[in-house]
Structure 1
Amino acid sequence: MKKQAGDLLVSSDEEEEEMSTCLPSTSGTSKPSEMTAPPKAPEEPASATKTPEGSIETMGVKLSGFNTDLTLKFLNGQISFNEFSAEMDNLHQVETTREAGMETDGEDLEPGATEQEEEEEEEEAGENAMEVDSKDEEWSPAPRKRKRKHMKKRRKKTELPKHLQGLMGEANLKFARGDHQEAINMCLEVIRLAPQAIIPFQTLGMLYEEMGDLEKSLQLYLIAAHLWPNDPEEWARLAHMSKELNNPRQAIACYSKAIRCDPSNPDYIWARCNLYEQVGEHTKALEGYQSILQLMTVSGADAEDYWRLARDTSRAYLELGDLTNALSTLQKACKSYPNLITSEDINTILEMQISQKIFVESLELLVKFCGVVFEFEKFNWSCESLYVPDGLQDGRLLPVKCTAPELLPIDLRAKLIVCMIHLKHHKIVEPLMQPLFEENIEQVGDLYLDVAEAYMENALYSEAKSLFSVLVCSSTYNEAAVWLKYGECLNCLGELENAVNSYKRVVDLAPTHYGARISLSALQQQLGNSSDAVKALTIPAPSEPGQIRQDHILLVHKCHLLYSLDRFDEFYECCQQLLFGHVKEEWKPVFRKVIFEFMSRRSRAESLEYFYQHIGGKDYFMETSISTDDIWDIFLMLCRGLWERKMYNQLLDACIHGLTNPQILTDEEKYKEAEFLCLIACIQSRNGKLAYNLIREICVKDIDNNQAWNLFNQVIICSSDGRHNRFCLRLMMKHPDNLALALFNAHNSMVSGTYKHSLGEYVNVYRKQPEDPLLNLCIGLAFTHMACQKFSSKKHALLVQGLSFLNSYVELRGECQESMYNMGRVMHQLGLTYAAVFYYKKALALPPAVGEREGLFDLSQILCHLRSTMKRLQPP
């Protein structure tokens, strides 16, 4: 119920509590003077801290609100202005969406129809009923109609509440009297009670600006601007302050806000573009200039100003390499204000259109603005035509004649000729060429070159040759680039001798031009001049890194040429420069150590990179224009050539250094192949120590591969140390079921004389593969060796078991040189000479198992040496 006390009207207990929050709390009864007194400034330090209740204190005053934490982070420098602005925009968007939803829900309800209002209406009706005269007791009132109350206009959250306006006025008075600290404390108190109000932040900004703290002042102004973001002039003022404080990024953000509020103001866009140029974001600056051009078109600005800005913008796009936007900018200007276009503008547009192969539009521009006329069989195309003839691009419509004004600038005439050549209308351009020939070639030689290149692109080499022949005779255009084009033209015409002379001229003028040298070498090959072809690919020692990369391209072609000519010695030297140019003679031991001590590709690459950075003094993985496939092909060619010539030591060096090549090292598949080639080279050069390190890793990675174990055996044969014994034993512990490891351990025991151990290993394998001839032979030999020992017992039993397995071996293997020779050797060892002679004779009578191929290992040569032995073994 409403209570009236003097002039003070309080609606309810809730409103009393709301009024009490505006005043400092007191104990007992408060005096009127005490109630209206402003709160005292707190004495805490001006810093932001977290309290246990979760509120935030800043400058001694506790603040609360939906964005207070964000505001404090910005004031304390924990977040940048751009982050603060983005978060505030998100909060505004969420708040706007929520308010829109509340307004939509409120349309379905009757304003004022809450329970509290219904109770108040019932009480008022009761009071009115008490005033009814007693004479009207019999009167019964009609049903009460509910009064529809109009909803009061909601106060904006950014406006200051009425109960805080007095405190804010007191703060302004303190500010005017110069009591800055007291005014600051009062503003902070207002912010605590109404954190979304604009006025206290603006007042605080003015206070700090008066005190000389411009950085703090700007921060508070920015918060106020975010609370009411629809004032473009305020954003522009803040952007100006940001520029004065040397914060262009923040100024850009402020101008963006101003442009969002007032997008039709070009001054804001101009200022932001200047700032974008200042911070180096030229693309965004050009987007702003495009917006200004659009505004100038809508507002009908001065045409000369529009053209001036369009030219500058197009030129900036060209500097950035954005040809599309540069062309569209000038085309829009041409469409908006065609009366102010100049010949320079037309020339610029034509250059961009020709570079983008837009030839029909180029002709349209020349027809419309330069007075060019095309005559067709049934009509003419001129500036008075309303449309562009259809069929020019695909050649369905061919002009009969083309007429150009005599006063047409020569550069525009040349571009007209170029467009017509590209559109296959070259037959009617001869009359247009005459004025070009009348000009001084020293001054317009670039136009000659454009026309000649257009002829070459359309395979009109004879016409291009006449123009190039004139250009190369001039003093200004007697350059390598022109001679190169001339040589290409002559080569296409089949004039090889003249083309060779042209390319020689290019090489003389530009010795490091690798393209000309490659073409010259190819022509010399066609003419049969192999020596000259090789010479063309040889240049002096490079002096720059870029020249080194070009020299590599020449070396690739030179290697292929020398290999095809079978000049292997020169090919080998060329490969040394190309593949192993990163290896110095004194570094070779280091590289060999890296390859054979570090087994993984990654560890080798890291070791080599460290070596080059700290010892070599250069970048190991230097960029090169040679592809990995080209390097790999030449590496294989080198290995094949060395293998065919049985140069195994050189092959080993080539493989080791190939493993250090950066391009091979970065390709996993090719690196595996190069590593295998290195293993084969080690075996062929009988370098068992190096080969063992490689084959060991292969066997560990692919332990079930029989071919890997066969190679392991080959390495053991050519190796002189016994490291493989310990390796096989350790690996057998990890893989006890591996048959290859069991055989290797058995063989090692057999060679070392521990026949019982070897017999145990052989028998374990025999249980799994009883039909293997080799196992039967090895078991028979183990029994035989044990029987031949001096102190062995039961020799007869051992011998019988051994011969049993040897007979099984002969049955499984069949009668051949190998089986008969092995049986003869066993009998020879046992002292049974008659039996040995018998088997030796049978071995000599049988044909070789490997045929008659040359260079293959068989037993014929060994058996020939046994003939004299057989004579001694036979009884007299």
Structure 2
Amino acid sequence: MDAVHSGDEWSIGGELELAQDFEVIDLNELDSSCGYISEADDSTYISSFLNGLVTDETLYSRYLNGVISFDDLMREMHHSTTLDNDSCRSSDSDCSSKNDDSEYTIRPRRSKRRQNPDTVGKKKLKLRGPLISKRARLPIELAQYLGEAERHLNNDEFEHAERICYQIIDTAPQASQPYIVLAEISFRRGNQEKAKEFLYQAAQRNPSDQNTWLTLMDWAEEAEDFPLAIHYARQALRRNRADTSLRQRLIDLCHVAGRSREALQLRLAALSVTPESTGEEQFEVARELADQFFKLLDPHNSVKAYENAFEQYPDHGTDNDRNSALSIMLQMKRYDQALKFFTSFCGVKLYLNSGDLFDMDRHSSKLSSVEKFKRCEFPDNMAVELQLKLFLILAHLGLGPLVVSRVESTYTNENITKYSDWLLDIVVAYKEKNLYSIAIQLILKLKKSNVTCKLVQVWTLLAECYLEAGETESAIKAYRHVIENLDPRHTDARLGLVNLLRRLGRNQEALKFLNPSNLVQKGVKPEISLTEQCDLIVQKREKSPLKSSHRSTVKSFAFSDLQRTSVVGDVDSDERSVEKVCLDSDWLDASANLVSRDHVAYRLAYERCRMLDTPESVDSFLEEAWALLFSDVTRVCGPRFTQLALTLDSEQHRKLVIDRLASVAPALTDTLSNQIDAERSTTETNGVSSSDIWGLFLRVVDVLRARLPKSLPQLETATAWASLLPHVQGNDLRRLAASHLLISSSLIARHGTPAFLELRKIQKQWSEYNQYWNVMNLAITLSRDFKHCRFLDRLVTKDSLNLAIGTIASSDTLVRGSYRYAIARLINMREKFPDDALLTLLLAVGFLSMAMQKHIGSRHLAILQAVGFLGEYKRLRGDCQEVYYNIARACHQLLITHMAIHYYEKVLAMEPIGNNPEEKSVTNLHREAAFNLALLYRTNGNPAMARHILQKYVVI
């Protein structure tokens, strides 16, 4: 069976090679000489065929009995052959019909008549007539040998026939006839799958055999393998492209397989190969195909359908057909193709300066220069719409000056009323080709018409033409007319006027047109200024933590908004429902006036910020940018939620605010990501993208950083509110950058809670780094509430082997006053990390603090344990300023004055640790020790020594 698989190496390249060897034959002569052989005459034909080829039957008997080898058989047959090869070449049809039965493609088909199962193996073959290519032909000796296989096949001796075919395949692997015989053998045996494989191998070796492909197509269609049937049908159609029945069958297969586009393409190809009998039918089919292609967003084939119809029947097309084809070409901006269509099917003639008639195929390179053309002629009875499209095409190709007079004559009131869009497109085309004077003349005619005199597009186009022509004052008047009389919210007109005024140096006048306050809906309450907002924030932060009444208001708001469908059965359910209705009504009033909802005002405000971003107007820039970025946040949060939004107190509240800012109607979207995508697409469509807003925010941060420390409250507020903006939440990198800015600004302002809440979000990502825990410890130290306590307890429970978490949690427990719990946790940590000096110091601090408590059984035992841990701490840490300073502080707390003075003096006598002055300045404890020592001297009645110490170590 190896010989069977050798045909798999054939590819498309192999088929092309076979195609080069095809022979052109006379089908009429072939049909008359060969025809189809009926099933009744098969045996007679084969016997006579074999008698003509085999001169000595005993040769086969001797070979089959094993007397001679296969090589001896071939040698004897070669010597006994008396056929004249030259005469066979000169009369191919006679030779092939009489001597070469194997050159006919055998196509096994199932009989449609009901057969007896006993007679299935006796099924006869049908012989067909197309000749096989030269490479697929067998040598005459092998052809005679294949006849022997067919004789065995007719006698139902399948094994002998199969063995002979495999021997022939080993000798001539490129021949197709043995595979056809093998396919017939498998088919008679009832193995149709194997017959398909053999028949496909034969088709690959002889692609010109259409009948083989048709048989494969039949079998694939019976198996409902429509893609494979389409492939076989395409192969068969390549052999005879004029076969209309086969093409229709292929179209039906494409429809069944759901390939509507392929079916339409086949119908389109049929228009050129086999056109319809009349022009009306041709154009009716072309219109149908063009419409269907256009619905499938395939304008190229839609135009091709019309072009094929006009090529076949150029006199039967209507003006509507020409208009449809040209409109599609203009939509695709295929102006050269449209001009060729005009010159071919509409009677348009272009003459060169030499007097020759312009031909698109020969003179297409001359389209770039209008100087090479002399005139343009077209029929006087051409429809007006076709004339306008011709003018538009010529203008886009740079040939507009050839028909200026004809174009001006078409700008009548009647044509303006019907075809104002086409006339405007012609003006735009002249403007794009820098023919501003012609464009101005044409658009002035539109301005005088009652139909187009109030169109904004006409006036903006006139202003642009005036501007390009150098008439700036006329351009300013046109822009002003649009803004003041036609459409005050027209963004392009305002921005065009502003850019023109800036070029003329009239910046104040330009800023007046960029003020969005005139465009925002009436009834909006005036926003408080930047300074007033930040002062309000500072005042609230200076107070104690949130009052109970304020917290209850916040909780009821979050509960009512996050659980809208829940039913509360307690007493104050009515109060909560009333409060929910009030809050929702407040939200609807606020959301209706958000700046981001008015895209025109939003765009103008952004352009105003860009214009004010200069060193001379940096204060105005900061105010305008603050209003643009954060005015919506203040409206949504309201006065009662300002502190929550700034300190990021509640994650649920933050998410609620982000949802409200991200979408016009939060109930219409399911997830936050969908809302952010909708907002991003809306802003980018209106000219301000998320990247622009992010860049503006970074510019505000740069300005505030340059003004530190005065602008520290403003910087912290800006970074806190930025984390609520949809433009920041919609991008992971921006969200992370805004979080880092918030952490830095909060720590600089010594507000630990906002920094802790942001650090808590990124704990999983950065928990392996000591830098993260150092920043976390700093945020916890600066925090004024206890929101971090449960968080640290959960972390210690989950990861008891993390030294950083255990140290921070134990230190926080000491600060809270739970000394016994902290000591127990520290002893547990010390068992796992016995050589850590900081744990020993914390144990000493814990016992020392417990000794200072009022209700304690024995202070002496606690003090002795504290002193013992201090000694262990000194052993582990070594001699340095830090050790002696901590021992001196402990003695100072215990009022052991003489020992505290001793250790403070040792600190003053030692040099700080560090390799350079910068490092030493960080670890230097001279000032701290000197200050505490001066306190001791002053307490003990020695102010002179205290003053001496301060003058020596503290005063700069």
**TM-score w.r.t. length of structure 2:** 0.51
Residue 791 of structure 1 is aligned with which of 859, 873, 883? 859
Whole-angstrom CA distance in 2 between matches of 1:794 and 1:547? 67
Query: Does structure 2 conserve the Cα–Cα contact (< 8 Å) formed by 1:652 and 1:681?
Result: yes
Question: Could you tell me which residue of structure 2 aligns to residue 515 of structure 1?
Answer: 492
CA contact under 8 A between 2:634 and 2:642: conserved in structure 1? no
Aligned ranges for residues 335-354 of structure 1 at < 5 Å?
335-343=311-319, 345-354=321-330
Q: Partners of 1:372 and 1:795 in 2: how far apart?
A: 112
- Call closer, same or farther: CA 1:798–1:555 in 2, change over 3 Å: closer
Deviation at 1:481, TM superposition (A): 1.0
Matched-pair contact (CA < 8 Å) for 2:848–2:862: no
RMSD: 6.2
Decide which moves more: 328-337 or 838-847: 838-847
Give the conservation status (yes or no) of the 8 Å contact 2:290–2:306.
yes
User: What are the within-5 Å matches in structure 2 for residues 434-453 of structure 1?
Assistant: 434-445=405-416, 446=420, 448-453=423-428
State the AA in 2 paired with 1:572. Answer: W
**Cross-structure match for 1:476:** 451
Q: What are the equivalent positions in structure 2 for 1:56-455 lying under 5 Å apart? A: 109=152, 291=267, 298=274, 300-307=276-283, 310-311=286-287, 314=290, 322-343=298-319, 345-376=321-352, 378=354, 380-381=356-357, 388-392=361-365, 395=368, 399-405=372-378, 407=380, 409=382, 412-425=386-399, 429-430=401-402, 432-445=403-416, 446=420, 448-455=423-430
User: Which residue, 529, 546, 566 being the options, matches 2:507?
Assistant: 529
Equivalences for residues 667-682 of structure 1 within 5 A = 667-680=731-744
In 1, Cα distance between equivalents of 2:342 and 2:120 = 57
Q: Distance in 1 between matches of 2:725 and 2:124?
A: 73
Q: Is the 8 A contact 2:326 2:389 kept in 1?
A: yes
User: Paired residue for 1:125?
Assistant: none
Using the TM superposition, give the Cα deviation of residue 806 of structure 1 relative to its aligned residue in structure 2, in angstroms. 5.5
Give the distance between the partners of 1:341 and 1:865, measured in 2 at CA: 107
What is the CA distance between 1:404 and its match in structure 2?
Answer: 1.7
**Shift of residue 335 of structure 1?**
1.0
Task: Give the partner amino acid of 2:771.
Answer: Q
Residue number in structure 2 paired with 1:254: none
Say which SS state the counterpart of residue 380 (structure 1) adopts.
Answer: coil
Q: Which amino acid aligns with 2:860?
A: S
> Could you tell me how far apart the structure 1 residues matched to 2:830 and 2:347 are?
104
Quote the Cα distance in structure 2 between the aligned partners of 1:615 and 1:265.
Answer: 49
- Same amino acid, percent of matched pairs: 19
- 1:717 Cα deviation after fit: 1.9
Task: Read off the aligned partner of 2:902 and give its amino acid letter.
Answer: A
1:522, 1:706 → 2: CA distance?
53
* Distance in structure 2 (CA, Å) of the matches to 1:496 and 1:330: 47
Confirm or deny that 1:732 pairs with 2:796. Answer: yes
Counterparts in 2 of 1:721 and 1:401: CA distance versus 1, 3 Å: closer
Deviation at 1:340, TM superposition (A): 3.0
CA distance in 1, matches of 2:271, 2:913: 105
The residue that corresponds to 1:574 in the other structure is 628
Q: List aligned pairs for 1:608-623, cutoff 5 A.
A: 612-613=666-667, 622-623=678-679
Change (3 A) 1:710 1:494: farther
User: Which residue identity does 1:468 align to in structure 2?
Assistant: I
Separation of aligned partners in 2, 1:262 and 1:362: 35
Structure 2: distance between partners of 1:600 and 1:100: 81
Select 1:630's aligned residue among 692, 713, 732: 692
Distance 1:507 1:523 in 2: 14
Any unmatched runs of 5+ in structure 1? 1-90, 116-153, 155-225, 231-259, 274-280
Kept after mapping to 1: 8 A contact 2:276/2:282: no
| Equivalent AA in structure 1 for residue 625 of structure 2 | F
Q: Distance in 2 between matches of 1:708 and 1:295?
A: 74
Aligned to 1:467: 442
Provide the secondary structure at the position in 2 that maps to 1:374. strand
Q: Is the 8 A contact 1:687 1:718 kept in 2?
A: yes
792 and 525 in structure 1: CA distance in 2 versus 1, 3 angstrom threshold = farther
Mapping of 1:482-521 within 5 angstroms? 482-493=458-469, 495-508=471-484, 509-521=486-498
Match of 2:897 in 1: 831
Q: Distance between the aligned counterparts of 1:715 and 1:552, measured in 2?
A: 37
Q: Residues 745 and 758 of structure 1 are in contact (CA less than 8 Å); yes or no, is this contact kept in structure 2? A: no
Q: Amino acid of the residue matched to residue 570 of structure 1?
A: E
Q: Deviations over 1:435-471 (max 9, x none)?
A: 3324444344545533322223234445434433443
CA shift in 2, pair 1:596/1:553, >3 Å: same
Quote the residue 1:710 is aligned against. Answer: 774
- 1:698 is matched with 762
Q: How far off is 1:401 after superposition?
A: 0.8
The verdict on how the C-alpha distance between 1:732 and 1:470 changes in structure 2, with shifts beyond 3 A counting, is same
Contact 2:271/2:309 (<8 A) preserved: no
Deviates more, 1:738-747 or 1:761-770: 761-770
Q: Is the alpha carbon distance of 1:859 and 1:489 closer, same or farther for their aligned partners in structure 2, counting shifts above 3 Å? A: farther
Equivalent position SS for 1:792: helix
- 2:500 is matched by which residue type in structure 1? L
CA–CA distance in 1 between the matches of 2:657 and 2:497?
A: 44
- 2:494 maps to a residue whose letter is R
Secondary structure at the counterpart of residue 774 of structure 2: helix
Larger helix share, 1 or 2: 2
Q: Secondary structure at the match of 2:800?
A: coil
Contact 1:310–1:329 at 8 Å: present in 2 too? yes
What SS class does the counterpart of residue 375 from structure 2 fall into?
A: strand
Shift in Å, 1:476 = 2.8
How many matched pairs? 620
Q: Distance in 1 between matches of 2:613 and 2:661?
A: 34
| Counterparts of 1:311 and 1:113, CA distance in 2 | 58
Amino acid paired to 2:430: Y
Partner Cα distance (1:768, 1:105) in 2: 97
Q: Tell me how far apart the structure 2 counterparts of residues 399 and 658 of structure 1 sit (CA, whole Å).
A: 62
Change in Cα spacing, 1:513 to 1:370, as seen in structure 2 (3 Å) is: same
For 1:742 and 1:792, locate their aligned partners in 2 and report how far apart those are by CA, in whole Å: 28
- Residue equivalent to 2:193: none
**What residue identity is the alignment partner of 1:442?**
N
Distance 1:786 1:843, change over 3 A: farther
DSSP 3-state at the match of 1:502: helix
Which stretch shows the higher mean deviation, 624-633 or 315-324?
A: 315-324
Distance 2:345 2:912 in 1: 104
Aligned partners of 1:464 and 1:489 also within 8 Å: yes
Distance 1:794 1:347, change over 3 A: closer
**Deviation for aligned residue 1:831:** 0.3
SS in structure 2 at match of 1:402: strand
Could you tell me how far apart the structure 2 residues matched to 1:839 and 1:768 are?
A: 25
The residue type equivalent to 1:557 in the other structure is E
In the TM superposition, what is the alpha-carbon distance from 1:744 to its structure 2 partner? Answer: 2.0
Segment drifting more, 502-511 vs 779-788: 779-788
SS of 1:381's partner is coil
CA shift in 2, pair 1:414/1:718, >3 Å: same
Does structure 2 retain, via aligned residues, the 8 Å contact 1:461–1:493?
yes
TM-score, normalised on structure 1?
Answer: 0.55
Question: Amino acid of the residue matched to residue 511 of structure 2?
Answer: A
In structure 2, the CA distance between the partners of 1:490 and 1:747, relative to structure 1 (3 Å rule), is: same
Q: Which has the larger radius of gyration?
A: 1
